[in-house]
């Protein structure tokens, strides 16, 4: 309850421009296993946030995301956000999603509980990620699954990559080095 209340207060204050959140480190989200993902714990590492789905043409990117994560754990964390916003390609429960990701792709990077990444019910963290007014850097439109946001070690937005940009692409690698 305290977690939900703190999110609501931050969202209201931000909406009324009383505060401006310019770091992802301000966010805490429910993890897929029922715990909490506290983004402040990732200070000092780059963060790649990805909206994911199990029944999408891009689902194979889970393998590339896991490989990227394993190769760069000391300086990068990847956080997957399952979402059912596009073609109902993530219909499963959190438990089903975890089972699928571990069995099929060996996913070990943090995964959040299923959320909405667009529309009237957009999760506060995605509202922040997609709004220059909130993140201070860029506007982005989530048009499909596997969009990627890269943040620096201080939680500041660096770049946005659409679905077609693979996790092992030079476009992403140049920021991770």
CATH number at residue 49: 3.40.30.10
Classify residue 167: in a domain, yes or no.
Answer: yes
Residue-range definition of the domain harbouring residue 43: 23-176
CA distance 92 to 176: 32
Considering only CA atoms, which of 91, 65, 92 is closest in space to residue 146?
A: 65
- What tokens does 119 get? 């529309």
- Angle 94-163-138 from CA coordinates, rounded to 5°: 100
Classify residue 60: in a domain, yes or no.
Answer: yes
Classify residue 12: in a domain, yes or no.
Answer: no
The pLDDT tens digits along the chain (177 residues) read 655 655 556 555 555 544 446 899 999 999 999 999 999 999 999 999 999 999 999 999 999 999 999 999 999 999 999 999 999 999 999 999 999 999 999 999 999 999 999 999 999 999 999 999 999 999 999 999 999 999 999 999 999 999 999 999 999 999 998
Classify residue 155: in a domain, yes or no.
Answer: yes
CA distance 26 to 73: 21
Classify residue 13: in a domain, yes or no.
Answer: no
Classify residue 2: in a domain, yes or no.
Answer: no
Number of domains comprising the chain:
1
Classify residue 147: in a domain, yes or no.
Answer: yes
Classify residue 17: in a domain, yes or no.
Answer: no
Residue of 56, 65, 129, 150 marked catalytic: 56
The verdict on whether 101 is a catalytic residue reads no
- What tokens does 5 get? 């209340």
CA distance 127 to 119: 10
């Amino acid at each position: 309850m305290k977690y939900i209340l703190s999110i609501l207060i931050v969202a209201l204050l931000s909406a009324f421009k009383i505060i401006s959140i310019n770091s992802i480190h301000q966010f805490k989200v429910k993890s897929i296993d029922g715990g909490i993902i506290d983004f402040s714990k990732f200070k000092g590492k780059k963060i790649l946030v990805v909206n994911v789905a199990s029944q999408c043409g891009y689902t194979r990117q889970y393998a590339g995301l896991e490989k990227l994560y394993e190769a760069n754990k000391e300086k990068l964390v990847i956080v997957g956000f399952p979402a059912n916003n596009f073609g109902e390609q993530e219909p499963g429960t959190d438990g089903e999603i975890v089972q699928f990701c571990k069995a099929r792709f060996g996913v070990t990077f943090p995964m959040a509980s299923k959320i909405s990444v667009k529309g009237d019910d957009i999760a506060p963290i995605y509202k922040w990620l997609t709004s220059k007014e909130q993140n201070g850097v860029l506007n982005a439109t989530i048009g499909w699954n596997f969009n990627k946001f890269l943040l620096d070690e201080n939680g500041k937005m660096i770049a946005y990559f659409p679905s077609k940009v693979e996790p092992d692409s030079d476009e992403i690698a140049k920021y991770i080095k």
